[in-house]
Structure 1
Amino acid sequence: MDNHQFFQKDAQIVRKIVLIISIAIFTACIAIAAGSYFYIKSALQPVDPDDHTPVHVSIPIGSSVNDIANVLEEKRLIKSSFVFRYYVKLKNHVDFQAGEYDLNRSMSVEDIIAALKTGKVTEKSGLKLTIPEGTQLTQIAAMIAKKTGYKKEEVLQQLNDRKYIEKLIQKYPSILSKDILNKNIRYPLEGYLFPATYSFHEKKPPISEIVEAMLRKTEKVLAKYERDRNEMNMTTHQLLTMSSLIEEEATKKAEREKIASVFYNRLRTGMPLQTDPTVLYALGKHKERVYYKDLKVQSPYNTYIHKGLPPGPIANAGEMSIQAALKPAKTDYLYFLATPAGDVIFTKTLEEHNRQKEKYIRKQ
């Protein structure tokens, strides 16, 4: 092979390499451009098209676009403060108005910009609904009915509608499962409607909007404890069931972690939980005192005659009870007794427990 042929062959190889590199660079550029396009397009869309819960935003006088973008991102009203800033600059949006606003996560970036430019400040919410800790589903239904004008029966009908529940299971798979459709469960969503204060623009929003606002709150709270729940090897249903027992047994002075330890100690030793609130739930009554005849009620919720956890939650637990269920105290207590003064006395043996009962309860 002479020098001319050698250099000719070399040139062909170089051209091929250059072509391959050029194609690779071109492809990468297209991929980056496409990725950037879809990223920006997504960032301009609503954070959650189905979440109409009002989110209060305060825009102080003198706020820059950067300040506004950061506030909106912190409130999870936009997906990217970076995209928001450059979108505002590109579209030459100006005249944002300082004030107090109620926005929501179903709004697109353009919707939010329009709202912030009108200067239309927060209006009084149409409906404010406060659900206390330990509230049961029938009580929640009554509260919704009283505040909105729906009949309690209408609310309960929706909360018990199997097709609706199945749709919710698909929509909120991180918290809802087929466990709530167990034939022994009285109300599928018992324990899943988080106790908190909710605001709605309408005085009479759809029942589904109220229910899903509560489910989203439950989802948000439980997401913080997912690792702890997995370490405890508990399902969400088991966690909320245990939390509800702790919530119903706790008094203002009670140490929830110790109450949780008693329940776990009993489960480990094969003892029935024997917690009175499950009997009251089985009876469907609220009584100041549970009598021995009540303990015989035939119900899968009665933890005096059935070992283990009841089929599902018996109330909606607050976050303190959820924390206690995940981080119980390390004790060897098997019994506890709430005194009329609200104190809780923990004991290790039945003999000790009966002595305390004689001292504080039977003499009352």
Structure 2
Amino acid sequence: MDILLGAEDDDGSPRRRTSGSRTQQRRSRRRRKKQRRKGRVATLFAVVIIIGVLGGLGYFGFTWARSVMIPKDYSGEGRGEVVVEIEEGASATDVAQMLEDEGVVASARAFVNAIGAAGKSSSLQPGQYEMRKGMSAASALTLLDPKNRMLNRLTIREGLRLSKIYEELSTATGKPVEDFKKAARADIGLPSYAKGRLEGFAFPATYEISSKLTPQQILTKMVDRFNQTADRVDLEGQAKQLGFTAKQIIVIASIVQAESGSAEDMPKVARVIYNRLTSNPQMKLGMDSTVMYGLNKYGIAASHADLESTSRYNTYKYFGLPPGPIANPGDHAIEAALHPADGNWLYFVTVDPKRGITKFTDKESEFWKLRDEFNRNNK
């Protein structure tokens, strides 16, 4: 019986333990859930930290990359005023660096990028430009348009006397005539045969003259152009073949320039000069233009009083060429002096100066008829 009772007690005891075990299981499950929640929170926190770190690295990386890829650039039109100069032969990179050094743009790369974007790398031209400090690269590029250059385009016409050239240069630059006269005595690159005299060697052409150029630099530009022409036509070599010096050829060219009614007549006028100098030793050159130069006068016909001048430029009084050029000849006159036309003419008269009509003859009697025609046309 005791055994049976014990068995019953045993049956009840396991039931009570089972109930307690379930409670422990629930508690265990709750602990595991809490631990899982903590694990998930920790994981989430770690992910947030990692994302934050990566985000920070990404931001700084982007900022660094942006600073490398996108150069510094100002915004707006800038302020103040600064004059910059693009040198002859300067590349776009050279110009960009110069603008950065002058404080016009924030960085050379910004300007190079602006040029590339606009496709204007070949549009930059030498000259001076008015700019502003602290400009955006795009604005700076706009102001470097060639039409904005601070240059005076001055055309020196063929046949001008040096005194007239000085006046035109003075007007174009605002510098006194005396400054140009003084500069002409300095080292301006004159060839040795010029004997230090600029008349005849200030080459007529169109020049871009900057306000920063000195009179000496401007005159040097003109002489440089003469020297280039002299080299191109082999002035000294061609003169020697003709039996003259280079200076004598320029004297002849200056007379051709002054006496011709048109470029087409120049080789004929040159031939008359050579014929008078070489074909008839007893004949004087007899050119009105040389007489007028010696008297510092202008006109196409010398008066009887003019012909009494004792100046060495009076070719009615003295044999041979005058002592120096009487004007500054251009390409056509120099070419004509080196390559005169074929002919036996000894005289010519520009019978109609307004229309530039010149007639040539080898007979003195015909010459006087042409003089009468000239007088009728110029009453």
**Would you say same fold, with TM above 0.5?**
yes
Q: Which residue of 1 aligns with 2:34?
A: none
Q: Which residue of 2 aligns with 1:144?
A: 169
| SS of alignment partner, residue 125 of structure 2 | strand
| Aligned with 1:210 (options 215, 218, 222) | 218
Is the Cα–Cα contact under 8 Å of residues 274 and 304 in structure 1 kept in the other structure? yes
Question: 2: CA distance between counterparts of 1:176 and 1:53?
Answer: 33
Question: What letter corresponds to residue 192 of structure 2 in structure 1?
Answer: L
Structure 2 vs 1, CA of residues 233 and 58 (structure 1 numbering), >3 Å: closer, same or farther?
Answer: farther
Residue 58 of structure 1: how far off its partner (Å) = 11
| SS of alignment partner, residue 279 of structure 1 | helix
Question: 1: CA distance between counterparts of 2:331 and 2:222?
Answer: 14
Q: 5 Å matches for 1:26-37?
A: none
Q: 5 Å matches for 1:25-104?
A: 97=116, 98-103=121-126
Q: Which residue of 2 aligns with 1:198?
A: 207
Question: What letter corresponds to residue 142 of structure 1 in structure 2?
Answer: E
Question: 1: CA distance between counterparts of 2:329 and 2:351?
Answer: 22
| Aligned with 1:235 (options 220, 226, 245) | 245
Question: What letter corresponds to residue 346 of structure 1 in structure 2?
Answer: F
Question: What letter corresponds to residue 248 of structure 1 in structure 2?
Answer: A
Structure 2 vs 1, CA of residues 152 and 361 (structure 1 numbering), >3 Å: closer, same or farther?
Answer: same
Among the aligned pairs, what percent are the same residue? 29
TM-score, normalization by structure 1: 0.62
Residue 100 of structure 1: how far off its partner (Å) = 1.4
Question: 2: CA distance between counterparts of 1:344 and 1:333?
Answer: 12
Please tell me whether residue 308 in structure 1 is matched to residue 323 in structure 2.
no
Is the Cα–Cα contact under 8 Å of residues 53 and 199 in structure 1 kept in the other structure? no
Question: 1: CA distance between counterparts of 2:87 and 2:308?
Answer: 47
Question: 2: CA distance between counterparts of 1:121 and 1:230?
Answer: 48
Residue 252 of structure 1: how far off its partner (Å) = 2.8
Structure 2 vs 1, CA of residues 53 and 314 (structure 1 numbering), >3 Å: closer, same or farther?
Answer: farther
Q: 5 Å matches for 1:144-293?
A: 144-159=169-184, 161=185, 164=186, 167-168=187-188, 171-172=189-190, 175-177=191-193, 179-181=194-196, 188-200=197-209, 202-226=210-234, 227-252=237-262, 254-268=264-278, 269-270=280-281, 271-287=283-299, 289-293=301-305
Q: Which residue of 2 aligns with 1:113?
A: none
Deviations 1:221-276 (A, max 9, x none): 11111143342243221111110000000113751111000000000122211111
Q: Which residue of 2 aligns with 1:321?
A: 333
Q: Which residue of 2 aligns with 1:333?
A: 345
Structure 2 vs 1, CA of residues 288 and 355 (structure 1 numbering), >3 Å: closer, same or farther?
Answer: closer
Query: Over aligned residues, Cα RMSD in angstroms?
Result: 2.8
Deviations 1:286-323 (A, max 9, x none): 13532111111111111111111111110010100111
Is the Cα–Cα contact under 8 Å of residues 86 and 125 in structure 2 kept in the other structure? no
Residue 343 of structure 1: how far off its partner (Å) = 0.9
Is the Cα–Cα contact under 8 Å of residues 194 and 317 in structure 1 kept in the other structure? yes
| SS of alignment partner, residue 359 of structure 2 | strand
| SS of alignment partner, residue 336 of structure 1 | strand
Structure 2 vs 1, CA of residues 103 and 352 (structure 1 numbering), >3 Å: closer, same or farther?
Answer: same
Is the Cα–Cα contact under 8 Å of residues 195 and 316 in structure 1 kept in the other structure? yes
Q: Which residue of 2 aligns with 1:358?
A: 372
Structure 2 vs 1, CA of residues 100 and 133 (structure 1 numbering), >3 Å: closer, same or farther?
Answer: same
Q: Which residue of 1 aligns with 2:359?
A: 345
Question: What letter corresponds to residue 101 of structure 1 in structure 2?
Answer: L
| SS of alignment partner, residue 128 of structure 1 | strand
Question: 2: CA distance between counterparts of 1:142 and 1:298?
Answer: 27
Structure 2 vs 1, CA of residues 296 and 254 (structure 1 numbering), >3 Å: closer, same or farther?
Answer: farther
| SS of alignment partner, residue 339 of structure 1 | strand
| SS of alignment partner, residue 285 of structure 1 | coil
Is the Cα–Cα contact under 8 Å of residues 254 and 344 in structure 1 kept in the other structure? no
- Return the structure number with greater relative CO, CA threshold 8 A, min gap 6: 1
Q: Aligned residue pairs: how many?
A: 250
Structure 2 vs 1, CA of residues 132 and 54 (structure 1 numbering), >3 Å: closer, same or farther?
Answer: farther
Question: 1: CA distance between counterparts of 2:206 and 2:171?
Answer: 15
| SS of alignment partner, residue 192 of structure 2 | coil
Residue 141 of structure 1: how far off its partner (Å) = 0.4
| Structure 2 gap ranges (5+) | 1-84, 93-111, 128-139
| SS of alignment partner, residue 344 of structure 1 | strand
Structure 2 vs 1, CA of residues 54 and 278 (structure 1 numbering), >3 Å: closer, same or farther?
Answer: farther
Question: What letter corresponds to residue 100 of structure 1 in structure 2?
Answer: S
Structure 2 vs 1, CA of residues 53 and 260 (structure 1 numbering), >3 Å: closer, same or farther?
Answer: farther
